[in-house]
Structures are given as structure tokens and as C-alpha cells.
Amino acid sequence: MACFTLLCDDVDLWVRYYFGMDLHSVEEVMLECDRVISEAQARQLRAIAELGRRSGSEFDPDQVALVMRWSGHRAADRLALAQRLTDVLPASLAALESGTIDLYKAKCISNLTLPLTREQAQAVEAKALEKASEQTGASLRQRLRRLVSRVDPDGAAERAKAKKADRHAGLVVEDDDMAKLYVYLCADKAMAPRC
């Protein structure tokens, strides 16, 4: 909680505090701040989920958006995450609250387990959380994809087939007379060496 106290105090005092620290101490403060932020985000998600439970209305995202001064899209996304973590993936919410994982990792677990049943999702969650605190977000996403495929191989094959049917290319006009050309295709085709 030292980090939270520092964040609330006078900025000059905060700056002077860091000048007297060695590098390891500064790193420890960074980690403690991250834990405090994760705990606060977990508490916020619990409150958002409770708001959804109490109102039980299709207008919940609008209420969240109004209270938090967020866009409707962001509020809907956060409400969906809050409901999924409290109802289906409580171990991920507990890990977030303890600072073991951050919000990005909790979102990864939630998003990548969406096509699974509750039991499958919780099995993947349990395995993912074993190493999640030691992994980067990208490494966790890769591990989650492998775990999901192992838990639901038939579903993974069906989802891959559906994605293959959605192959496409496009052009996006950017600022300053620039554009992006993109292709959405199977990874093995995209990664194949070209002559």
C-alpha cells in the first residue's frame, strides 16, 4: 500500500522519494504499484458485475458508461469481462485481485476461453494460471491457444474451418497519403517461404 500512499501525496515529495532509492528499490515500487492497480481493477470488476446483477437489464452497459464516463463500447466490454470473471473464471479474478496477473492477462484468459464450456474454460484457466505470473501476455496467449486446442480439439478444428472461410484482403487508407494493405489468411500459408 506504500505505492498507493505515494500516488496520493504531493508530487514533489514523490519525486524526492525516488532520488534516494537504489535501482532494486525502484523496481520493487514498480511491482507494488502494479499489484495495487491489479487489486483495484479486480475490485472494480466485482462492482461492475454486481451492478449488472442488481439491475438485470439490457441497459447495464449504458449505466456503467454513465457512471465511469466511458464509451458505450468500453463499458459493454468491461461489463462482459466482469460478468465472465465472476461467474465462470473466478480463479482469474482472484489472481487479478492478488496481483498475480494483470488486467491484460485476465482478458486473455477470458477471451480465449469464450468458445469453451464452463468446465473446459475452468480447466484451461487452472493450467494457464500455473505459469501466468511468469509469462508475458504474448506467451500466455500462445499457451492458452495450445490449452484450448487440447481441451476441445473438435471445437478448435471447427473454429479453424470457420476462420478459413472468412479469408479476405483489404486496403485501409491512412493519414498523410498512406495506406495499409492487409491479408487475412491461414497462418501456415502466410508463413510459407516464397521464392
- CA 152, 117, 166, 82 torsion: positive or negative? negative
pLDDT at 14: 60
- Inside any domain, residue 140: yes
Whole-model pTM: value is 0.80
- CA 79 and chain centroid, separation: 13
pLDDT at 21: 74
CA distance 94 to 18: 31
Mean pLDDT is lowest, of 96-105, 118-127, 153-162, 179-188, for 179-188
In one-letter notation, the amino acid at residue 189 is K
Mean pLDDT is lowest, of 42-51, 123-132, 156-165, for 156-165
- Inside any domain, residue 182: no
- Inside any domain, residue 117: yes
In sequence order, which residues have a C-beta less than 8 Å from that of residue 192 and are 6 or more positions away?
none
Task: Give the structural domain span for 18.
Answer: 2-151
If one counts the domains in the chain, the total is 1
pLDDT-derived band of residue 11, with 50, 70 and 90 as boundaries?
Answer: low
- Inside any domain, residue 63: yes
Mean pLDDT is lowest, of 20-34, 44-58, 117-131, for 20-34
pLDDT-derived band of residue 192, with 50, 70 and 90 as boundaries?
Answer: confident
- Inside any domain, residue 184: no
